[in-house]
Amino acid sequence: MKRNLRLLTVFPLLIMVLMVMSTSKDKSEKVIIGYVGGYRGLVDVTLISPKKLSHINYAFINVKNSRAFINRPETDTVNLRNLVSLKTQNPKLKVLISIGGWAWSENFSDAALTDTARVGLQKVR
């Protein structure tokens, strides 16, 4: 049981790292990832140094009906908009979503299973 729970936590992180590695066009560029948790409300983006990062992962987004689903629209939409605005300081910065986490991983496999389902898991702009 504990092993299955660990796999549910590690698998989404592994997929995320592999996706980040495959999106780097110039293999000599360093990949420096920041992880931002929006599950406690609004994020203070003034504490983030976007010029020091290549990627920001926003946690966590749920999966519902094989689509990425924001459970807290009042704060998640503001947080995502504010994170994307950091691209003015670093145009190469990529803002990605982290799907699942401890509680919301159960629907990830179905959402990533087919090309049609993966359309709903594309990056947030």
Q: Which mean pLDDT values do the consecutive 10-residue runs of the chain (125 residues) have?
A: 46 58 64 92 96 95 82 93 97 92 75 70 45
Provide the whole-model pTM.
0.69
Tokens of 12: 């989404």
Q: How far apart are CA 98 and CA 59, in angstroms?
A: 5
Half-sphere exposure of 29 (CA within 13 A, CB side): 16
Number of neighbouring beta carbons within 10 Å of residue 59: 17
- Could you name the CATH architecture of 2-121? Alpha-Beta Barrel (3.20)
Tokens of 120: 């709903």
Tokens of 125: 């702009």
The whole-number pLDDT of residue 2 equals 47
The whole-number pLDDT of residue 91 equals 97
